[in-house]
Amino acid sequence: MRAKSAVVLGAQWGDEGKGKIVDVLSDHFSAVARYAGGHNAGHTVIISGEKFILQLIPCGVLRKGCKGVIGNGVVLDPIAFLNEATRVQSHGVALDGNLFVSNRAQVILPYHRMIELASESAPGRKKIGTTSRGIGPAYEDKMSRGGLRVVDLLNTSLLKTHIEAACQQKNTIVHALFGTDPLDANQIFDQYAEAAEKLRPYVTDTGRMLNGILHSGGSVMFEGAQGTLLDIDHGTYPYVTSSSATAGGASTGTGVGPLNIGTVIAVTKAYVTRVGEGPFPTEIKDEVGEEIGRRGNEFGAVTGRKRRCGWLDIPLLRYSNQINSAEWLVVTKLDVLDHLAEIPVCIAYEIDGKLTDEIPADISGINKIVPKYTRLKGWQTPTDGIKDYDSLPAAAKEYLRFQERESGAKIGMVSTGPDRAQTIFLPEFAAALEALKP
């Protein structure tokens, strides 16, 4: 018997519209748990025209009766968390008893931001395109076993000792390398000791909590951040994030074992976007790409950065589905392509004169890719707001079925606009979701 749980993640380079999808699906789950990343992840949810932009807080809290959980795999900036909680509560969303933070999550402190900003701005350094919010340095401290966890943040004497030692070390290193002014350890301690007391009511052993929900017949959705091609192990390294954005991260990032993962739902745009630096084989570098960007409002929810747009990449999607064992595909922003008479889709790569569908491990190999396209007929009919699959134009249905046939995962859901209601559920997927309800 399958566990009553699902991982929802990005199949591309992030920004696939996971926020809306998690919100729509959360009606079927007892809890939604974030398992990786930090407050660099922006999930946008629009409910009856009202917009919510969530960075750390799982989208599940917007559903009555659904708990939001920040797992141990997340790096938590306490100040950013508390500010976001205040914003969410200002919309009338109750968080007391509905939102929980893992006592094992790592903490982002001001020196992490200082290090990342100085490093990213250093002369001669290859820019990765980070958000300079301290995510990477916090994960570095975690892996070097020098980080501070939430449980330690709540211990005042330990917090003071840790900050004093860390500031002495980080100030020395950053000043020597980048000439940055030192941070004041006492000021940081005062600020974060106060934040710790405000954070305390949310903190618990979330791994125990999530396993308890599953054991008692409840259901859990694991919410990914960023996307598969930004995963630290499987993405386009080094132009990646610092955490495990793939399905495997759901277990390590929450404390729920892999046998309790019931299914994996991969979210893909009807095209592809990428923000920041890094390789992008199917990028459209002309006015067509600009038009898709305008129609899709392709700007980062957190940073406001413009996203690069490209044609759907089937080898990339197939690779993503393989890594994640994706059973279902959710296709977003289909309506953005409504204006096109013809839609190119990349079906293979040519590298050094040879055809392949394998994604090279090295950046130099990816940069050699010459995409090989097939061209599908466009529908040139508005699809925005359509809620029934049979009402879609025939060419739009063929475009979707082509993705399904070529990628190896079943299409379960199609988004035809940003609002919660602008969603198509296919019957088999709807039945599978009903089986997950607690």
Q: Which residues carry out catalysis?
A: 15, 43
Quote the CA–CA distance of 199 and 361 in Å, as a whole number. Answer: 41
Spatial contact of 242 and 232, defined as CB atoms under 8 Å apart? yes
- Helix then strand count (H, E) for the chain reads 14, 19
Handedness of CA 377, 383, 389, 390 (dihedral sign): negative
User: Between vectors from CA 392 to CA 389 and to CA 395, what angle results, nearest 5°?
Assistant: 120
Q: Distance between alpha carbon 261 and the CA centroid of its chain, in Å?
A: 18
Burial of 287 (0-12, 13-18, 19+ CB in 10 A): exposed
Spatial contact of 310 and 274, defined as CB atoms under 8 Å apart? yes
Residue type, 389: Y
5 DSSP β-pair partners: 220
Q: Which residues contact 13 (CB under 8 A, 6 or more apart)?
A: 226, 227, 229, 230, 236, 272, 273, 274, 275, 278, 280
Helix 78-90 to helix 185-199 angle, to the nearest 10 degrees?
40
Helix 110-121 to helix 156-178 angle, to the nearest 10 degrees?
10
The two three-digit tokens of residue 298, written as one number: 């392709």
